[in-house]
Amino acid sequence: MEGEFWNPEMELLSREEIGDLQLKRLREVLERCRRSPFWKEWFREAGFDPEKVSSLADLRALPFMDKETLRGGDPRRFLVVDQEDIVRVHASSGTTGQSTVVFHTARDIETWAELVARCMYMTGVRRYDVFQNMMGYGLFTGGLGFHYGAERIGAMVIPAGSGNSKRQIQLMRDFRTTVVHIIPSYALYLLEVFREMGLDPRRDTDLRMAFIGAEPHTESLRRRLEEAYGIKAYNSYGLSEMNGPGVAFECPFQEGMHVWEDNFLLEVVDPRTLEPVPDGEEGELVFTSLNREGMPLLRYRTHDLSAVYPEPCRCGRAHRRIARIKGRTDDMFIVKGVNIFPMQVERVLLGILGVGSNYRIVLETVESRDEMRVQVEVAGDLWHGEVRELERLRRRIVEELRQEILITPLVELVEPGSLPAGEGKAVRVGGTREHVRGD
Ligand code: AMP
Ligand code: ZN
């Protein structure tokens, strides 16, 4: 296994060593937090004495925090260092409302770059690679986060940013890009652009690997991308409140994402009762940053649903793995009394031959009844084919969706490329119905 580890000392810690290091780091974080007025008050209200923490479980005496806690008011109140020590600010992408702000010291940026380098190296990125970062630069963390990680490895970085599809493809060809970082829904859309340009990514590029993340996506979508681009696609999970990318990442075995537990303390809780759930069971991910200097967060609720894989990984890393994110607790919507996640719809659609590269769920109220309409782009060749074929496809989609979500949706087939394709995170659900969100 020599040479496969960026940071063997951290990556090869045993479970016991991870636990010890976490407790040590947790104590240090609490010690730093004690100095800030915000945390002092937070601890006091909870009747929590940070000096008495002697096990990781003791942290459970603290209340959870989430986006609501961070929103409103001066975001600098979460700093535990002087503002002069801050060198960078980032913010969440704000897909679920007002964005939240996170501050970093120089050391935080360093730690973050190391973590991302660790992720990329784990999957096989090396100095000789050409890495095209197709994520939005700026406040969004997917741009600079990966940029620094890749430079640390010594790969050549193309800071392409998001959008401008034809130019992206041109860059890939001009610089012989081998690795990309891309939003999965955009990667799917980009296939249409390749097709329009008369190009085949398998034949006409040197791509061998992609990092896909920033939004929920299914295994079927990953496999579709791997197949169409002729690459390996690795799932990358992170959130700006925990730096951004580099929180959890797939290893070459592609069976769940290793959470870097030397940096993040993971809890999985039942989103209703907030009680811990056993390994293997689905729950909401909650993180405590163990190695952040400027703005540590304790017991931060992500609203992301996943589960811990109980078995150790074949790659030899004891850092626990989490399953692909099923969705956010606030992604769920209810139609005719049934709880539905957009990813259930995606799983069905992408398993059907003839389905193109984009879809959208529209929720409406028709004559005071909930209706769910699914607009599905059809694959290019089929769209120009026979009407009978299209009708057969439509019926099949209705039937397979009904089996998955237990209600009968309206399915509308649309022309390839006709649905709005964003450059950022896909917005899968729209419509005129009010109060569509569950939770
Ligand atoms: P942001 O803070 O704007 O970067 O958004 C972070 C959120 O994006 C997470 O809390 C997740 O909901 C979502 N996200 C990021 N990476 C993934 C991933 N690999 N799979 C599913 N959702 C993801
Ligand atoms: Zn592994």
Higher per-residue pLDDT: 332 or 323: 323
Tokens standing for 297? Answer: 């967060």
Rounded-to-integer distance, Cα 126 and Cα 358, Å: 33
Q: What is the mean pLDDT of the chain?
A: 93
pLDDT band for position 435 (cuts 50, 70, 90): very low
Select from 74, 14, 20, 80 the least CA-distant residue to 298. Answer: 80
Q: Residue range 409-427: average pLDDT?
A: 88
State the closest ligand 1 atom to the C-alpha of 142, by its place in the atom list counted from 1.
Answer: 4
Whose C-alpha lies nearest to ligand 1, atom 5?
Answer: 239
pLDDT at 2 over 50: no
pLDDT of residue 437: 43
Range scoring the smallest mean pLDDT among 45-59, 84-98, 235-249, 408-422: 84-98
pLDDT tens digit sequence for 206-239 = 999 999 999 999 999 999 999 999 999 999 999 9
pLDDT at 8 over 90: yes
pLDDT of residue 434: 55
pLDDT of residue 1: 44
Ligand 2 centroid, distance to 231 Cα (angstroms): 19
Residue of 304, 328, 346, 439 to test ligand 1 pocket, by largest number of atoms within 8 Å of CB: 304
pLDDT tens digit sequence for 86-117 = 999 999 876 666 779 999 999 999 999 999 99
Asked if residue 214 has its Cβ within 6 Å of ligand 1, the reply is: yes
Asked if residue 93 has its Cβ within 6 Å of ligand 1, the reply is: yes
Around Cβ 390, how many Cβ atoms within 10 Å?
15
Asked if residue 235 has its Cβ within 6 Å of ligand 1, the reply is: yes
Asked if residue 283 has its Cβ within 6 Å of ligand 1, the reply is: no
pLDDT of residue 3: 56
Q: Residue range 356-379: average pLDDT?
A: 90
Q: Residue range 172-191: average pLDDT?
A: 96
pLDDT of residue 365: 85
pLDDT tens digit sequence for 157-177 = 999 999 899 999 999 999 999
pLDDT at 428 over 50: yes
pLDDT at 336 over 90: no
pLDDT band for position 385 (cuts 50, 70, 90): confident
pLDDT tens digit sequence for 21-46 = 999 999 999 999 998 999 999 999 99
Contact, 25 vs 264, CB < 8 A? no
pLDDT at 150 over 70: yes
Rounded-to-integer distance, Cα 96 and Cα 342, Å: 15
Which residues is 363 bridged to in the sheet? 372, 431
The amino acid at residue 323 is A
pLDDT at 433 over 80: no
Select from 202, 180, 179 the least CA-distant residue to 191. Answer: 202
Whose C-alpha lies nearest to ligand 1, atom 21?
Answer: 216
Rounded-to-integer distance, Cα 305 and Cα 149, Å: 27
Distance (Å) of CA 385 to CA 272, 357, 376, 378, 390: 49, 17, 16, 11, 8
**Cβ partners under 8 Å of residue 232, min gap 6:** 123, 208, 209, 210, 226, 254
Q: Which residues of 50-65 are buried (b: 16+ CB within 10 A; e: fewer)?
A: beebeeeebbbebeeb
pLDDT at 414 over 90: yes
Contact, 288 vs 59, CB < 8 A? yes
Range scoring the smallest mean pLDDT among 4-8, 248-252, 385-389, 433-437: 433-437
With a pLDDT cut of 70, the percent of the chain lying above it is: 97
pLDDT at 417 over 90: no
Range scoring the smallest mean pLDDT among 17-26, 126-135, 358-367, 418-427: 418-427
